[in-house]
Amino acid sequence: MGIFFRSRRAKKIKNVDEEILLNEKKDRRLTPDVPSNRRTNIDRRGDDGEGDMSFEDLMHDRKAGIRYVASFPVTVIPHKNGKKTGKIELNSMDISETGILLTTKDEEQVKAILEADHVRLKFEVPEGSMPEGHEIRFSLDAKIARNAEIDGEYLIAFNFIEDLGQYLKKRKDRYVFVSSTILLFFISFVIILMRSKSVIYFKFHRVLYLYSIMTAGFLLSRYLFGAFYKPVPIDPNYTPPVTLIIPCFNEETWIQRTIVSCVNQNYPPEKLQVIIVDDCSTDRSVEKTDEIIEAIRKENPYFDQNRLFRLVQRTNGGKRAALARGIDVADGELIIFVDSDSFLDPYAVRNLVQPFIDPKMGGVAGRTDVANTYTNALTKMQSVRYYIAFRIMKAAEGLFDAVTCLSGPLSCYRKDILLEKKDEWLSQKFMGQKATFGDDRSMTNMVLKEHRTFYQDTAYCSTIVPSNYRSFLTQQMRWKRSWIRESLMAGAFMWKKEPFAAIVFYIGLLVPILAPIVVIYNLVYVPISEHIFPTTFLVGLLLMSLMMSTAQLLLRKSSTWFFGFLFCVYYEAVLLWQMPIAWVTFWKSTWGTRMTPSDVEEKERKKNRRKRGKKKDTDEEA
């Protein structure tokens, strides 16, 4: 499936095989969560969501039962008659919230463990071995579930007396919650005090202090509104027909895993359709797609050619054209867009459709996490940025039913709206150039203009993010260009929305655009002209960075929290300066990271310019 686990000491990523992803132990079946074809821990207990357990409990139990392949040392301390009988060092093979599998080749060690009344396990979960937040030292009691010998190797499975989630809540989470909450209040208080100074001295420099007040107000309001956000709960009886469309271009590494995740949904299979639209890939994407479709159909015949199939475009028309092709043949009343390197949680679809109970809802975004978080420092920074962008920023917009970007990795729309807007979307031009990227923001604008848009935090997927700086910077430039273009277009109608949401939107539009000018003024002009060190400005940046990191610590309790601070530093030092370039190039339609028709045309133009230049030099020499 293209899932790989490598040493966490790997720094330079040479190819996708070195990406560090969670390595879930495979079920014997490709689609164990499909209601008509599953054998999970939940299923064995005989509860499929229609019994006493709620879907929230089912989702919790499923996550607790996931086993992650991971090798790390574990200290086993046997106890007999209330006394320790030694200390034994073993290695793990896999681990879940509820138990762990250990291995050894020493028969005497096995005997000592089996003779014990009970054992205590001590171990530290390495980063990337389990979901974020588990990377601490554990010391807990366990009981033997089973043991076996295979080719001279002894396997011992333990059940934890107290599962890892309960352990974390008692010994880590409550302290992290209290300390990070206090720190957040302190940071907010200091920011407010500093901005009160801006109000006092407002008359001396109206423009600068107005920007300062606007920036602080915008960011603080995001965190405040994000705290009040709540997702729509699951109504077990609401399961409208859904079609998932996966546009694909040269994704042979990840496409199989993406397809499996889209099919393996806890959703009525008769109401689920998955369509893969290949945009003339030049690698083995089509072959890989056909392989996995055949394997899924062999295991679950229900997904026949009407419920799971792929299409191949005649020419490379871009992502929008691929999505539009899928829309034309989709059967579902709701359409879900899924990027070809994104992997859905088995309950993603069931959660994502819930806001559409509201007939005025036009589109919904799910949460996107980073799949390759622990690959290197860059992916860790992106992991924090993604989580805050969704759980805080989109959640704040969702509070007003006005989410301004239903992101490409996982988003859902009503089919009738997509059909109505499809031609306008496909033919969209800006300053004479055809729009080839920013398709998610563009469609969101068209939907948001007349309908509501929401963010559903309980519907989540994970996606592969760039692990090298060149690809990352190219991606960020493309995003900034589409952000400027679509934000300007959204500005024409956002004033009609909820007043507070509209005000925050326009402030959020001005702040990033003016940021480079303000930074130059504070860090260059003021020190040179006034001979004043910009202490207040730097402290303000520090506080804003700490707020992002502290929010990550509060909500996710992850060791990556500090990388939020590093991301903010990197943003100010590097990413911020992409904005002026985006100002003067935001009409460009090239992707930079894939050869779209626009990229091919641009490459040909450059090639022709070089030829003309060489010919001119030759003529001058003659």
Report DSSP letters for 262-314, one per residue: HHS-SS-GGGEEEEEEE---SSSHHHHHHHHHHHHHHH-TTS-TTTEEEEE-S
pLDDT confidence tier of residue 613, bands split at 50, 70 and 90: low
pLDDT confidence tier of residue 1, bands split at 50, 70 and 90: very low
The highest-level CATH class for domain 68-162 is: mainly beta
d(CA 364, CA 42): 28
- What is the reported pTM? 0.88
Span of 432-436, 460-464, 563-567 with lowest mean pLDDT: 432-436
Q: Which of 326, 298, 363, 376 is nearest to 128 (CA)?
A: 376
Note the pLDDT of residue 600. 52
Answer whether 425's CB lies under 8 Å from 443's CB.
Answer: yes
Could you state, in order of their start, the residue ranges of all structural domains in the chain? 68-162, 242-496, 590-621
The residue among 73 and 605 whose pLDDT is bigger is 73
Note the pLDDT of residue 536. 83
**What's the whole-number mean pLDDT along residues 4-31?**
63
Answer whether 550's CB lies under 8 Å from 177's CB.
Answer: no
In this predicted structure, the answer to whether residue 242 has a pLDDT above a threshold of 90 is: yes
Note the pLDDT of residue 40. 45
Q: Do the two domains 68-162 and 242-496 of this chain adopt the same fold?
A: no
Note the pLDDT of residue 611. 58
Note the pLDDT of residue 12. 39
In this predicted structure, the answer to whether residue 37 has a pLDDT above a threshold of 80 is: no
**What's the whole-number mean pLDDT along residues 62-67?**
88
pLDDT confidence tier of residue 502, bands split at 50, 70 and 90: very high
- For the chain, what is the largest distance between any 2 Cα atoms, rounded to a whole number of angstroms? 100
Note the pLDDT of residue 17. 54
Share above pLDDT 90 across residues of the chain, in percent, rounded to a whole number:
62
Rg (CA), the chain: 27
The first and second tokens of residue 399, run together, are: 């509070």
pLDDT confidence tier of residue 193, bands split at 50, 70 and 90: confident
**What's the whole-number mean pLDDT along residues 400-429?**
94
- Chain segment 325-354, per-residue pLDDT in tens: 999 999 999 999 999 999 999 999 999 999
Q: Could you tell me which residues come within 8 angstroms of residue 461 by beta carbon, excluding any fewer than 6 positions away?
A: 261, 338, 342, 343, 344, 345, 348, 366, 367, 368, 369, 409, 410
Note the pLDDT of residue 386. 96
What is the DSSP secondary structure assignment for residue 392, as one 8-state letter?
I
The first and second tokens of residue 7, run together, are: 């040493």
Note the pLDDT of residue 10. 34
Answer whether 367's CB lies under 8 Å from 391's CB.
Answer: yes
For the chain, the average pLDDT equals: 87
- Chain segment 269-278, per-residue pLDDT in tens: 999 999 999 9
Q: Which of 271, 279, 216, 247 is nearest to 518 (CA)?
A: 216
Share above pLDDT 70 across residues of the chain, in percent, rounded to a whole number:
87
Instruction: Work out the number of other CB atoms within 10 angstroms of the CB of residue 69.
Output: 17
**What's the whole-number mean pLDDT along residues 476-497?**
91
Note the pLDDT of residue 442. 93
The first and second tokens of residue 171, run together, are: 């010994």
- As a three-state string, the secondary structure of 188-208 is HHHHHHHHHHHHHCHHHCHHH
Answer whether 271's CB lies under 8 Å from 300's CB.
Answer: no
pLDDT confidence tier of residue 598, bands split at 50, 70 and 90: low
pLDDT confidence tier of residue 42, bands split at 50, 70 and 90: very low
In this predicted structure, the answer to whether residue 590 has a pLDDT above a threshold of 60 is: no
Note the pLDDT of residue 99. 95
d(CA 414, CA 409): 17
Sign of the CA dihedral running 18, 19, 24, 29: negative
Q: Which of 492, 494, 522, 523 is nearest to 207 (CA)?
A: 522
The highest-level CATH class for domain 242-496 is: alpha beta
**What's the whole-number mean pLDDT along residues 16-28?**
82
- Chain segment 423-451, per-residue pLDDT in tens: 999 888 776 677 777 899 999 999 999 99
In this predicted structure, the answer to whether residue 13 has a pLDDT above a threshold of 50 is: no
**What's the whole-number mean pLDDT along residues 247-271?**
95
